[in-house]
Structure formats: structure tokens, C-alpha cells
Amino acid sequence: MRKRFIAGATCPNCQEKDTLAMWRENNVDVVECVKCGHQMREVDKQARDQVRTNEQVIGIFHPE
């Protein structure tokens, strides 16, 4: 898995700049601060479009 840093980005948790790394895991974008460990996840557009409007996605299971 290849991680990439996001230039100029600031961690919403610790407010440090240039510490966010991003990678893709099971069609979900994961962003993690290498300083404090705070993580954010974003499902891809295809999965988001299948969720009903009054529901929230916690995660999507993809059996391998």
C-alpha cells in the first residue's frame, strides 16, 4: 500500500501542518495524521450514491 502526503494540509485534531498521509483501502480513501494518529475515511462516490438519504455510512463490507 502506497501512502502519499497531502502538501499544505492541516490536521483537524492537532492542527499540525504537512502531517497528513493518504492511501486507499478497500475502495475507501483513508487520511491519517502521522503525528497524532487521527484518521478520516471517505467512501467513493459509487458507494455514497447507493446510501439512502436519511442514513449514514459507517463502513462498507467488501468480502474478498
Q: Is the whole model's pTM more than 0.75, yes or no?
A: no
The Cα–Cα gap between 3 and 51 comes to 28
The grid coordinates listed for 40 are 478520516
Tell me how far apart the alpha carbons of residues 31 and 39 are, in angstroms, rounded to a whole number.
6
CA-derived radius of gyration, the chain: 14
52: which residues sit within 8 A by CB, 6+ positions away?
none
Decide: 61 and 27 in contact? Cβ < 8 Å. no
pLDDT 10s digits, 16-40: 999 999 998 887 889 999 999 999 8
pLDDT band at 58 (very low <50, low <70, confident <90, very high): low
